[in-house]
Amino acid sequence: MVRIQPRFLIPAATLLALLLAGRAPGRAGGQAPAFYPDDPIAAEPAPVAVGDIPEVEVYNLYDYLWQTARAATAVEAAPAKGVNTLGEVPDSAWFTNRHGRRRMTKEELRRGPGDGNAPLPPFLIVGAKTEGITPGFRMRDAKGRLFFVKPDPPGNPELISAADVLGSKFFHAIGYNTPENYIVRMRRPDWRIDPKARVSLPSNLSRRMSEKDMGEILDKAALLPDGSMRVIASLGIPGEGVGPFRYEGTRTDDPNDLFPHEDRRDLRGLYVFCAWLNHTDAKAANSYNAVVTEGGVRFVKHYLIDFGSAFGSDGDRAKDARFGHAYQIPVSAGPVLRQLGTLGMAPYDWEKARYPDPKTTGRIESAAFDPESWTPNYPNPAFRRRLPEDEYWAAKIVMAFTDEDIRALVETGRYSDPGVADRLTRVLAERRDKIGRAYFSKVLPLDNFAVRDGRLAFDDLAALHGFRPPREYQISWAAFDNRGGAATPFADAASFELPGRFAATPEGGYVAATIRAAAAGATDADAGQSVTVYLRKKGADAEVVGIERSFGRK
């Protein structure tokens, strides 16, 4: 038996601990380097070709109940995957950096996923769904293009069509794949029913469609004074539909689906976008996987679809005031006991909220909106695992939308009253600012790092957007071992100038700069918050290759 004497065990363990502590966070065991030569990557590699894969549906009711039942259990989330070394999401089949990376022009914002395929009459109705929450039908236009069509409800003549168009444009500008949605006015002579058209019934049954079915749809549609109806026509997504994606796990027959969905930053961060745009029905069933061929490769492309429950809309009516503020089924007893115990006499703020245009834009407002407590209709596993870094990534993109950008997008909803667009723009701008304030305070909101004139420069996003005055930061430097992960402090370097020892760093060597709020300007929220920026020597310059944010996990 070999025994290590205690007096030697302690220093040895301490040394080992110091070594481990010096590793870059998030690395596993040091087998892989922290940075590869091509980091940070802007896009994921080209996809590997998929074979024939089947359509796999999600059982909605099961998803609703299962996710609700699990929500009482706390989740312990690891840092997100599907990110580059700057913490950004590379372009992929899931997400394409658009307005957040490079400002889109107003025309690009308005165009969204496309505006060149507006349906042209005459329309041939090829199928319908008259039951369910939102009756609708499928039609082919004069060019044979397939559209999925839903009319606005009688009491809210612009509600759903605008929400669906705005949703597709906003989420596209953010970076997601969305369908081309068009607002169309259909007049009675414009359409006829295909003799082969079928009406979908529950349990996968169907029957032949008749004029009566169109009558039922018209009964539930807002008819304009000239007898026409305003509808949302969603262009069929190109490719072969293979069912929705889930917000957890991976699709086992897709070689490109490398990261569990609940850990993808683009799906965790989607929470923030959904909160901004009040997309309360962000669930698996409102997503879509299409097998497409691009660049000669067949691969699965992932879409968000159906924004009829975004903004103040809820599919066929104004949104329930509760939605966005509480799950449909509470996951704790507190809210239930409160409502019962007070006989409903202690209303929540959202119950007293006032809505600028409930008839046209439904129930969306900004005063009672709290980005931190916003909820979808039922728990979403990716949203539940979001961490402050995920929220920060998304908040940056939200903050990239100026008031003018928002207005340009809102105008694509073609509201008949221009005042409605003004008010919705204001509401979205105020919600945007609340998001910025909330998530720029959970991490140090320092970004746009670069080395200029021998100094590490950056923007303080909270100050840049006016959420608080500019303040001082303190910095410490260290040499960073890319292979072993050890960080060795430069004791004499405490300014934002590159330390003198950086000049001696060999080509391809790394240094790390850790920034914290200076004690004078720090608040309680800053405790435990820091940003570590990794620089790589490249000629006489340094390039920013990595960013890690510490947010003082609780």
Partner 1 sequence: MRLLQPLRKTLPWSLAALCLLAAAAPRASGEEPPAEPAETRMASLERAQRERAAELAPAGPDKVEGVLERRIGDDPMNKYVGGVPGLHLRFGGLPSGAGFALGLEYKRPDLRDGMMMFRASAAASTNLWHGLEAELGFPRVGGRFLDANLVARRVDATSIDYFGPGEDSDEGDRCDFRSEENSFEGTLTFKPARRHLKVGLTAGYLLFNTGPGDEHGDEMERRFTPQQAPGVDHQTHYLKLGPFLDIDTRDKPDDPHKGTHLRLQFDRFDDRRRGGYSFGRIGGSLEHYAPFFNEKRVIALRAATELSYADEGDAVPFYLQPTLGGSSDLRGYARHRFRDDNMFVASAEYRWEVFTLLDAALFADAGKVFHRDRDFSFDKMEIDGGFGFRIKTRDAVVFRVDTAFSREGYGLWFAFSHVF
Where in 47-66 is the site for partner 1 (CB under 8 A)?
Answer: 47-48, 53-54, 56-62, 66
Q: Binders of partner 1 among 437-496, rule CB under 8 A?
A: 479-484, 486-488
Residue 194 contacts partner 1 per CB under 8 A? no
Both tokens of residue 213?
Answer: 């079915």
Nearer to partner 1, 365 or 390 (CB): 365
Residue 19 contacts partner 1 per CB under 8 A? yes
One-letter amino acid at 383 equals F
CA angle 117, 123, 126 (to 5 degrees): 105
Say what the alpha-carbon torsion angle 497, 500, 504, 510 is, to the nearest 10 degrees: -40
One-letter amino acid at 546 equals G
343, 519, 520, 540: residue in contact with partner 1 (rule CB under 8 A): 343
Both tokens of residue 25?
Answer: 């966070």
Residue 333 contacts partner 1 per CB under 8 A? no
Host H or E run for residue 294: strand 287-294
126, 353, 450, 464: residue in contact with partner 1 (rule CB under 8 A): 353
Cβ proximity of 220 and 316 under 8 Å: yes
CB of 61 to partner 1, least distance (A): 5
Cβ proximity of 356 and 424 under 8 Å: yes
CB of 467 to partner 1, least distance (A): 29
Q: Binders of partner 1 among 506-545, rule CB under 8 A?
A: 506-511
Residue 45 contacts partner 1 per CB under 8 A? yes
Nearer to partner 1, 229 or 487 (CB): 487
Cβ proximity of 300 and 50 under 8 Å: yes
26, 44, 79, 121: residue in contact with partner 1 (rule CB under 8 A): 44
Both tokens of residue 317?
Answer: 């009516």
CA angle 199, 157, 313 (to 5 degrees): 80
170, 273, 307, 350: residue in contact with partner 1 (rule CB under 8 A): 350
Q: Binders of partner 1 among 357-396, rule CB under 8 A?
A: 363
Q: Binders of partner 1 among 118-137, rule CB under 8 A?
A: 131-133
CA distance 208 to 429: 47
3-state helix, strand, coil split of the chain in percent (to 5) is 25, 25, 50
27, 207, 455, 538: residue in contact with partner 1 (rule CB under 8 A): 207
CB of 231 to partner 1, least distance (A): 18
Q: HEC string of 49-90?
A: CCCCCCCCCCCHHHHHHHHHHHCCCCCCCCCCECCCCCCCCC
CB of 425 to partner 1, least distance (A): 23
The interface mask with partner 1, positions 70-99, x = CB under 8 A, is: --------------xx--------------
The interface region with partner 1, picked from 108-116, 233-241, 256-264, 407-415 by CB under 8 A, is 256-264
Residue 189 contacts partner 1 per CB under 8 A? no
Q: Would you call 500 exposed, middle or buried from its count of C-beta atoms within 10 A (0-12, 13-18, 19+)?
A: exposed
CB of 304 to partner 1, least distance (A): 20
Both tokens of residue 256?
Answer: 């490109």
Residue 212 contacts partner 1 per CB under 8 A? yes
Both tokens of residue 248?
Answer: 């957890």
Nearer to partner 1, 119 or 499 (CB): 499
Q: Give the bridge partners for 550, in sequence order.
A: 530
Residue 11 contacts partner 1 per CB under 8 A? yes
Nearer to partner 1, 54 or 469 (CB): 54
Q: Give the bridge partners for 129, in sequence order.
A: 136, 200
Question: Which candidate, 533, 548, 542, 534, places its Cα nearest to that of 452?
Answer: 542
The interface region with partner 1, picked from 13-21, 388-396, 421-429, 434-442 by CB under 8 A, is 13-21
Both tokens of residue 539?
Answer: 């000629």
CB of 3 to partner 1, least distance (A): 7
Give me the residue label for tokens 């070394």.
85
CB of 524 to partner 1, least distance (A): 34
Cβ proximity of 209 and 198 under 8 Å: yes
Residue 256 contacts partner 1 per CB under 8 A? yes
Nearer to partner 1, 3 or 553 (CB): 3
DSSP 251: -
CB of 469 to partner 1, least distance (A): 36
Count of residues touching partner 1 (by CB under 8 A):
100
Residue 41 contacts partner 1 per CB under 8 A? yes
Residue 340 contacts partner 1 per CB under 8 A? yes
Cβ proximity of 152 and 160 under 8 Å: yes
Residue 295 contacts partner 1 per CB under 8 A? no
Q: Give the bridge partners for 294, in sequence order.
A: 297
122, 238, 347, 552: residue in contact with partner 1 (rule CB under 8 A): 347
Cβ neighbours of residue 121 under 8 Å, at least 6 residues apart? 141, 142, 186, 190, 191
Nearer to partner 1, 117 or 250 (CB): 250
Nearer to partner 1, 79 or 114 (CB): 79
Cβ proximity of 450 and 387 under 8 Å: no
Nearer to partner 1, 152 or 391 (CB): 152
Nearer to partner 1, 341 or 470 (CB): 341
